[in-house]
């Protein structure tokens, strides 16, 4: 089985977390593959819940025999200061 490549959405928060899970499910109709690739090329913003979700997802896939490859994670990004401050 080929390793599906799943794009992490540009804005990874709320409903887009569910969309990522649904896309994995749709791209793997015959069950979990031996390997899966998460592509971070579009990611511009991620909420803390998105970080937790990705961590749990990668752990869960690993526990079920699927290795997860991460691509496009080492790019320059600027931190936004003052986000969430009043």
- pLDDT above 80: residue 86: no
**What would the two tokens of residue 58 be?**
């990668």
The reported pTM is 0.81
Q: Who wins on pLDDT, 34 or 1? A: 34
For the chain, the structural domain boundaries read: 5-71
Pick the CATH number of 5-71 from 3.40.50.300, 3.30.750.24, 3.40.50.10860, 1.10.3720.10: 3.30.750.24
Mean pLDDT of the chain: 87
d(CA 5, CA 59): 18
pLDDT in tens, 66-80: 999 999 988 676 666
Dihedral sign, CA of 30, 70, 50, 66? Answer: positive
What pLDDT score was predicted for residue 75?
67
3-class DSSP assignment, residue 12: strand
pLDDT in tens, 16-32: 888 998 999 999 889 99
């Amino acid at each position: 089985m080929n390793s599906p490549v799943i794009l992490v959405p540009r804005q990874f928060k709320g409903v887009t977390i569910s969309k990522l899970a649904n896309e994995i499910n749709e791209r793997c109709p015959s069950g979990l593959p031996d390997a899966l690739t998460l592509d971070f090329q579009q990611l511009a913003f991620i909420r803390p819940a998105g970080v937790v979700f990705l961590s749990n997802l990668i752990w869960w896939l690993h526990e079920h025999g699927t290795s997860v490859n991460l691509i496009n994670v080492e790019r320059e990004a600027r931190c936004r200061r003052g986000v969430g401050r009043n």
